[in-house]
Structures are given as structure tokens and as C-alpha cells.
Amino acid sequence: MTDLLDGRRVLVLNGPNLGRLGSREPDVYGAMTFADLVADCEKTGAELGLAVEVRQTDDEAELVGWLHEAADSKTPVVLNPAAFTHYSYALRDACAQRTAPLIEIHISNPAAREEFRHTSVVAAVATGTIAGFGPNSYRLALRALTTLTD
């Protein structure tokens, strides 16, 4: 693990409807509940020496505020923007202000879904994107953060 993240705080931010994991379209998002996801991210983070804080909101302004907080504190971010991925220029602009790595993640593979999900306005300003690996997308992103130095 790099010195950049050793013992560092990482924000795992989730957009709209992700608080309903486990009951929301389980054929797409699986059976893991949001509480299960939080526990899994915290456990993975601890294994990697990261202090992981998981948050979820259905409010675009709140998510933008959290990204500002991360930029101001140089905190790395794992971001599942959910539906905001495809149209929120406010979210994109907040991500562009990042001062530490930001990894965009998705539980499903947006490119394999409806056409409107094929475009991410966030991807161009993220360090990278991980999609389509179910809840493992979060684990992969946390692991990837330990290798980044920007």
C-alpha cells in the first residue's frame, strides 16, 4: 500500500436509490442490502488499512456537498453516482474539483443496459471506472485506491 493512503480516510459515496439495495431490482443489483454493503466496505477497508466511511443520499445537492468536503480535505472517493451518472453536470463539476483519487463505480454494467445509461458525465473527470462486478465493484475500487498516487 502506498503512503498516500496508509490509514487514510476514504469516502464511499452512493447516489439515489442505492439505500434500497436488497429490495430494488434484485435481478440487476443482487440481494445484498445497503447495510450489508456498508459492513463489507468497512471490512475491506480495514483489511487494506483504510478508514472507510460509507454514505448514501437521494439528494443531488447533498452528494455535491460531500464531494466538496472530499476535495477540501484531499480525501479519496469511491463514488457510485447511480442515476446522476447520466445527467448531473453539477455532480460532474464537483468531481472535477477532486484533489485525491476518485473512482467511479457501478454495481451493474451500464453499457449492457438501456441506452440512456451508456453515457457517464462523471467518467471523464474520475481517476477510473469499475462497473459490472456487483458489490465486488466496491472492493475492487478500494483495492485500486491503494495503488494510486495522484
pTM of model > 0.85: yes
**Which residue in 40, 50, 18 sits closest to 136, CA to CA?**
40
Q: Which domain holds residue 53?
A: 9-145
Residue 107 marked ligand-binding: yes
**Which residue in 84, 85, 76 sits closest to 103, CA to CA?**
76
In a domain, 4, yes or no: no
In tens digits, the chain (150 residues) has pLDDT values of: 344 455 589 999 999 988 887 766 666 656 678 999 999 999 999 999 999 999 999 999 999 999 999 999 999 999 999 999 988 999 999 999 999 999 999 998 877 676 867 689 999 999 999 999 999 999 999 999 999 854
Whether the CB-CB separation of 52 and 44 falls below 8 Å is answered with yes
Specify the CATH number for the domain of residue 110.
3.40.50.9100
* Other C-beta atoms lying within 10 Å of the C-beta of residue 2: 11
Query: What is the total residue count of the chain?
Result: 150
pLDDT value at residue 53: 97
In a domain, 75, yes or no: yes
The neighbouring-strand residues paired with 79 are 13, 104
Determine whether 29 is an active site residue: yes
In a domain, 70, yes or no: yes
In the sheet with 102-106, reading across from the earlier edge strand, the strands are: 51-56, 9-14, 77-80, 102-106, 128-131
Determine whether 106 is an active site residue: yes
Residue 17 marked ligand-binding: no
Residue 120 marked ligand-binding: no
pLDDT value at residue 101: 97
Number of independent structural domains in the chain: 1
What is the spatial distance between Cα 103 and Cα 95, in angstroms, rounded to a whole number? 10
